[in-house]
Chain A
Amino acid sequence: MADRAGDDDKTRRVVFVTVGTTSFDALVKAVDSPTVKQELFTEGYTHLLIQMGRGSYVPTKSEGGSSLAVDYFTFSSSIADHLNSASLVISHAGSGSIFETLRLGKPLIVTVNEDLMDNHQSELAEELADQKHLYCARPQTLHQTVADMDLNSLVPYSPGDATPVTKLINRFLGFPDD
């Protein structure tokens, strides 16, 4: 799960934070906090890129150098490129973000938004954390998770398969089996 040497000359290790199409100020604030930024820098990350969505809290940009470089944007049509060039992803608990990241084989910390009513999203994050595919945290505990995490202990995620469903649908309708 670690960065392959030679991928980038500058040994740039980017932490990409995404909140999808939601507003998740608690996560952006937590990630922008000195504690978390210091922890990430200590662990060898060089850049922090925050996709802040509809949130109102604006992070502070920073050039980096002796500390983490910080940049942010609101939306982009596709975050695939950002996910691809990241060494660590911190995401809200939306299933789209989670699976897009897992399928790329990127280490992932999922942060559950406790301000959401009827928080069914936490079910998925907890289940996948139980299966050791990712880490699960809350905004307040994020710094602890970052400090304690061992990315090599994460189990790679094998993508699912939609063909069993199509088989059943075909069979139900009376189409011959392929």
Chain B
Amino acid sequence: MEKGHGCSFSGMVSTSTLSCTIVVVTLILVRILYVILWGSRPFGRRATKPLITLIVLGSGGHTAEMLNLLVVLQKDRFTPRFYIAAATDNMSLQKAQLLENNLTAENGTRVRNTAQFMQIYRSREVGQSYVTSIWTTLIAMIHALWLMIKIRPQVILCNGPGTCIPICAIAFLFKELGIRWSSIFYVESIARVRRLSLSGLLLYKFRMADQLFVQWPQLQRKYPRATYVGRLM
């Protein structure tokens, strides 16, 4: 590319630009590798303060399973809680609100309920073609970015449908950039006995979840980095 001795100014600029680009790209790759390989270590120090928690709800059976988990979760450690469901899902947020209302009733009026409920654009409807899904997933990602900036969760709980992928991808991106290190916990649905769902597979392959839980031993054998926890339902 260079003419003659390479002493021309434009020649020097293009060399240094090239070098800079290589350095930056290398740094980015190193950072990505670091987060993927070492980002899932458990926290060394003990958690003492409650953690901002984001709960991603899916339709139908997914919500039932998540609520089952939330019932036994220590609420004082995971608060304030933010619930996100797909915009087309009418029932899930209602069910979550019911759970939160029952909590307040149990604790008496002293505990002020800080739970918040939001909707997100869905990346893919059941049966939607994969081609149009690319576009809708992009919109969902932008919406997810907006919500994540608002909430900045420290813990993300999700269990299944495509609704959680944009959220987890953004959380992973934040990790890359060093913004808000959120721990992502994914519980694969009890309906998945022999194969992971698409969401689960994405999170597993790209190591986006800090812990990926499966409910059947067959899945643990097939995906060794997953953690078998038995049946939740």
How far apart sit A136 and B131, CA to CA, in the bound complex (Å)?
35
Across the interface, which residues of B come within 8 angstroms of A123, CB to CB? 191-195
For B, the interface residue count at a CB cutoff of 8 angstroms equals 42
> Hey, what's the 0/1 contact readout for B18-45 against A, CB within 8 Å counting as 1?
0000000000000000000000001111
Across the interface, which residues of A come within 8 angstroms of B71, CB to CB? 162
How far apart sit A169 and B127, CA to CA, in the bound complex (Å)?
33
Q: How many A-B residue pairs have CB under 8 A?
A: 100
Q: Counting CB contacts under 8 A, is B123 at the interface?
A: no
Given A21-B60, A120-B195, A160-B231; A174-B47 close (CB under 8 Å): yes
How far apart sit A35 and B5, CA to CA, in the bound complex (Å)?
93
Q: Counting CB contacts under 8 A, is A96 at the interface?
A: yes
Q: Counting CB contacts under 8 A, is A94 at the interface?
A: yes
How far apart sit A124 and B64, CA to CA, in the bound complex (Å)?
16
Chain A's interface size range is 20 to 34
Q: Counting CB contacts under 8 A, is B227 at the interface?
A: yes
Across the interface, which residues of B come within 8 angstroms of A176, CB to CB? 46
How far apart sit A19 and B185, CA to CA, in the bound complex (Å)?
31
A99 touching B192, Cβ below 8 Å: no
Chain A stretch 130-169: residues in CB contact (< 8 A) with chain B: 159-166, 168-169
How far apart sit A20 and B185, CA to CA, in the bound complex (Å)?
28
Across the interface, which residues of A come within 8 angstroms of B195, CB to CB? 120, 123
Given A160-B230, A172-B42; A124-B74 close (CB under 8 Å): no
Given A123-B195, A162-B232; A174-B69 close (CB under 8 Å): no
A96 touching B197, Cβ below 8 Å: no
Q: Counting CB contacts under 8 A, is A170 at the interface?
A: yes
The segment from B100-108, B134-142, B169-177, B209-217 found at the interface with A is: B209-217
From the candidates A20, A169, A171, name the one contacting B60 in the complex (CB within 8 A). A20
Given A127-B216, A169-B185; A120-B191 close (CB under 8 Å): yes
A residues whose Cβ falls under 8 Å from a Cβ of B? 20-21, 94-96, 99-100, 103, 117, 120-121, 123-124, 126-127, 159-166, 168-176, 178
